[in-house]
Chain A
């Protein structure tokens, strides 16, 4: 799981927990369940939030700054979250160790193209889409292979791993190139071979 996935899931779980707890408690107490004495609501005739509860700290000097600061933090966090969800991380360049103490910079697009080209030439692959992600020193790839009907997916994957993927890894001088491969099939009508 990537960091993004974890963040998304933790925040979704948090929001879900809050909504479920508040909604569930109001529902339960509103339908007549006994409320514990320390809870927000003390019975079905209580209101959601009365004036004294709402204005309890309003006259304290710290109240409004704290409210505003908290809201500002929430807004900023949500903005950051939204941006991180919307942004497609794509690697611009890879640093290649040339072996003589120098480094070369390889454009990410170039490696994507080379990998996709070679995969396209592979038997049974109708189309290959490659995306290079990860950080500068440790690139990862995400690959989608569209398979033609005659090829076994297991074979296609093995060929792809041993061929195009290994070539890309060695040509970029990378010790490892973690990849996520999705195999799909070209939609087609049932084919009779008799």
Chain B
């Protein structure tokens, strides 16, 4: 956005219901909107392991003491620390802050879908749930955009609310290039088969002095 000619097509939004025009029954259409939910295997595994180790350790030591074996010293030390540290102690406050933050993080993990890189695809068949990788979608759009005459380079970012395309055109009239690009890209976005295609934001400019 230097002094180079810059044409910006505002959100050339396909109508909001464009998902329904993608050749599907509107009954399956609503269900197709559901996002993919991550199984959260890694955090679950780590948490299970941590609780297992801590509980196992306590269990072992308590059972050992019950069986009249000497207990490990860490339990005495832990009891002493718990009974001596006051709540306004720096370490207690630090630990509490860490625990609260960790707890909040676990809650966020539990309640959010995750898998942000997967875009839900339109559900053509009731048995089939499909997701398209964001990178793959961007790559397809990039390839289609490069097929338009006059386009030198393209950068595509497929986001949730809009699809950002920044193209650099080295010949032809910018308005023509923009018109062609809009048509090609809207076709390509439809071809992605997404449940909720994000509207296109297109920006075309001449190669600037800054390389691109």
Give A residues with C-beta under 8 Å from B: 1-2, 4-5, 8-13, 15-24, 26-27, 29-32, 41, 43-51, 54, 64, 67-68, 71-72, 74-75, 78-79, 81-82, 85-86, 147, 149-150, 152-155, 157-158, 161, 165, 176-185, 187-188, 190-194
The one of A5, A24, A44, A49 in contact with B88, judged by C-beta atoms closer than 8 angstroms, is: A44
Q: Given the complex of chains A and B, what is the CA–CA distance between A183 and B119 in angstroms? A: 10
Interface residue tally of chain B, by bracket? 35 or more
A-B contact count (CB 8 A): 250
Check if B98 is an interface residue, CB within 8 A of chain A.
yes
On whether the beta carbons of A16 and B103 are closer than 8 Å, the reply is: yes
Beta-carbon nearest neighbor of A178 in chain B: B127
B63 an interface residue at 8 Å Cβ cutoff?
yes
Can you name the residue of chain A whose Cβ is closest to the Cβ of B118?
Answer: A182
With A1-B37, A20-B100, A176-B127 already in contact, the answer to whether A75 and B55 are too (CB < 8 A) is yes
In Å, the complex CA distance between A133 and B41 comes to 17
Considering the complex, give the chain A residue whose CB is closest to the CB of B111. Answer: A13
**Contact of B128 with A161 in the complex, beta carbons under 8 Å:** yes
Given known contacts A48-B87, A64-B62, A190-B154, A74 and B55 CB-to-CB distance under 8 angstroms: yes
Consensus secondary structure, chain B interface: helix
B contacts, CB < 8 Å to A = 22, 37-41, 43-45, 47-49, 51-52, 55-56, 58-59, 62-63, 66, 79, 81-89, 92-93, 95-111, 118, 121-122, 124-125, 127-133, 135-137, 139-140, 142-143, 146-147, 149, 153-154, 188, 190-194
Residues of A close to B39: CB separation below 8 A: 2, 4-5, 8
Q: How far is the CA of A193 from the CA of B148 in the complex (A)?
A: 9
CB <8 Å contact, A54 and B191? no
